[in-house]
Structure 1
C-alpha cells in the first residue's frame, strides 16, 4: 500500500515495539490541517481477537511514547489511537489474505482509467490482490498500486428482532 514517508516512518517505529505489547499496527494516517495535523493510529490485538476500548486505552501510553520519540511533526499535532473499526483498513498482503471473501472498497494510484473499485477479495499473493467486482468481472491490482483499501461494513438491522 502506498504510504507517505512520514506515515511509513511512524508505522516502522511502532511495529518495532508493538509485538512486545501483543499489538498489531493496523494502519497509520496523517489527516487534517498542515499546522496541527492528526496522527491516527489504528491498532488491534496480535492474536486476532477484537480489541476492546479498555485495551486501546491501556496501549495509548507506549504508542504515544514511540511516536514522540520519533518526533515526526515539528509543530503541534493530535495523536489518536483507536481500534480498526468496522471499515478496517487493509495494507499488507497478510491483511488481504485474512479477509479473502470479504467485501472491500479499494482506491488505486492509477492515473489512467478506473481508480475506485468495490468488490470481494477473491485471491491474493505477495504481488497483488484479485477482486471480484460487483458486476462479476475480476481485476488484479498490484499491492504497490493500492492507495487505500478498507473492509466494506455489513449492517444487519434485522438481527434478533424477527422478520417484520
Structure 2
C-alpha cells in the first residue's frame, strides 16, 4: 500500500465520500470486495445530506484515507458516552479490500475515539448474516456483547431491505 494521508472529512469531500461508500456497500461494484451488503440490501447506503450532518456534528466525524489516486477509505466515528465510542460505515475501495487498509482505518478510528472523546470501549454493529465480517472483527479483538439492535426498516436512507430478518448484533472491544 502506498503512503496514506488520514484526515477528517471536510464538506468538500462529500461527493467522493458518497461515491466510495456506495461502491463499498451496494450494487455490482461492491462485489469486487468481500464486504458487500448487496445480498441483504438494495438502494443507497447513505446520502450526501447524512454525510453533511456527520461532518458538522461535534460528537462525530468521518476519518478519510487518501493516496495519490484519491479517496480510498473512510470510517464514521461517534461518541456514545464518556466511556464508549462507536464506529461504522467503514468503507474501503472494493479493489483494495483485503490489503490491510480496513485494519488501518479501524485502528485510526479507535485511536481517535480514545484521544478525542476519552472512550475506553469501542462498539460496532454488524448484520448476523455477515459471519466472515464478524470473524474479522473478532480477530481485531471485538467480542459479541449479547445485545442486538433492530434494523430501521422504515428508513430507506440506509437501504431497501431484501430480507425480512435483518437486525444487528453489537460487538465491543476495550481500548488501551
**TM range, normalised to the smaller chain?**
0.3 to 0.5
Q: Which structure has greater helix proportion?
A: 2
Q: TM-score, normalised by structure 2?
A: 0.33
Select the structure of larger CA radius of gyration.
Answer: 1
Q: TM-score, normalised by structure 1?
A: 0.35
